[in-house]
Amino acid sequence: MRKMEEVRKMPDMQIAVLIPCYDEEMTIEKVITDWRHALPEATIYVYDNNSDDRTAEIALKAGVTVGYEPEKGKGNVIRRMFEEIQADCYILTDGDDTYSADRALDLLRGIQEGADMVIGDRLSTTYYEENKKKIHAFGNRLVQRLINRLFHADIPDVMTGCRALSREFIKRFQPQSHGFEIETEMTIFALQSKMIIRSVPIQYRDRPEGSKSKIHAIKDGVRILHTIWKMHWRGKSGKQKRRKKTGGVPGEHPDERIMNRLGDGHHE
């Protein structure tokens, strides 16, 4: 409890909760309520991605700041949010009520302690038990292992939609993604930039009855794999160009990244 009180007492830190939405009228009010309760000092932003329902109307009635991105695609709306919103700590979550706000203070604390990205890790909790679509679970594990292998990392959940980001990350990150590959792009960018990454285990749950996922397993899966390959290739090309400029081939050095797990009993 003492540590949570210390987090709340951190002065002069602007906290923004970012909720990109497309047709989430069933859940957006609850998501706003949960995050407002978890972080009453934060400013909550809901950006509507050309919804066909009352998502924006409900968010406005809830008293949060509402923005709009007419070009459909999660990457498009997140890019718009990063361009328009100013804060010291950005907490990104989905509007479908699948991510619990219970670990909001742990996400915030990681940024306050110097991390550039704090990942909300679904895969180390009850994610498999809660997720009825096994193809999504398989895809998450496949992408996780691929990225960790290619980029010599140990990230527990590379595609989570819930994470905290520093001002420095937002300033340096220039997203190219248009769709659901945006989370993969963010993770790889942080790794390639040798930013400080932490993780917090969070609870993940199914959408409520009647709420439909916007992810298309095959189409979005192909885009995610293409993003991984493209960023890996660019990273290798960049290293080769730097080696040519220096006139030598330096030895391989292990990445000096910080990867901590908050709230697992080893960080007290």
DSSP-based three-state secondary structure for 142: helix
- If one compares 128 and 27, the residue with the highest pLDDT of the two is 27
Domain membership flag for residue 265: no
Q: Is the pLDDT reported for residue 253 higher than 80? A: no
Q: Tell me, yes or no, whether 245 lies in a domain.
A: no
Per residue in 65-106, pLDDT tens? Answer: 999 999 999 999 999 999 999 999 999 999 999 999 999 999
Average pLDDT, the chain: 86
Q: Provide the percentage of residues in the chain whose pLDDT is more than 70.
A: 80
Please report the pLDDT score of residue 157 as a whole number.
94
The residue range of the domain holding 63 is 2-207+215-240
Residue 80 or residue 206, greater confidence: 80
pLDDT digits (tens, 9 = 90+) for 236-250: 765 655 555 555 544
pLDDT tens, residue by residue, 125-146: 766 555 656 777 788 889 999 9
Indicate whether 251 pLDDT > 50: no
Q: Which stretch of DSSP H or E encloses residue 234?
A: helix 217-246
**Residue 42 maps to which CATH number?**
3.90.550.10
* Backbone dihedral angles phi then psi of residue 93, each to the nearest 5 degrees: -145, 170
Q: What does the alpha-carbon distance between residue 182 and residue 176 come to, in Å, rounded to a whole number?
A: 8
Contact (CB, 8 A) for 21 and 55: yes
In this prediction, residue 133 carries a pLDDT of: 66
Instruction: Look at 29-38, 67-76, 253-262 and tell me which has the smallest mean pLDDT.
Output: 253-262
Alpha-carbon Rg of the chain, whole angstroms?
18
- Under a CB-based contact definition with an 8 Å cutoff, are residues 91 and 107 in contact? yes
The verdict on residue 101 lying in a domain is: yes
Let me know: does 160 contact 121? Beta carbons within 8 Å.
yes
Quick check: is 247 in a domain?
no
Question: Does residue 154 form part of some domain?
Answer: yes
Q: Which of 259, 265, 266 is nearest to 118 (CA)?
A: 259
266 assigned to some structural domain: no
Question: pTM for this structure?
Answer: 0.83
What does the alpha-carbon distance between residue 13 and residue 265 come to, in Å, rounded to a whole number?
27
Which of 41-45, 85-89, 203-207 comes out lowest in average pLDDT? 203-207
Q: For residue 242, what pLDDT is reported?
A: 55
Looking at the chain, the whole-number percentage of residues with pLDDT higher than 90 is 68
Tell whether 192 is covered by a domain. Answer: yes
Domain annotation covers residue 231:
yes
Q: Tell me, what's the pLDDT at 130?
A: 59
Of residues 171 and 210, more confidence is placed in 171
125 neighbors 156 (Cβ within 8 angstroms): no
d(CA 111, CA 87): 12
| Higher per-residue confidence, 186 vs 4 | 186
Looking at the structure of the chain, the number of domains it has is 1
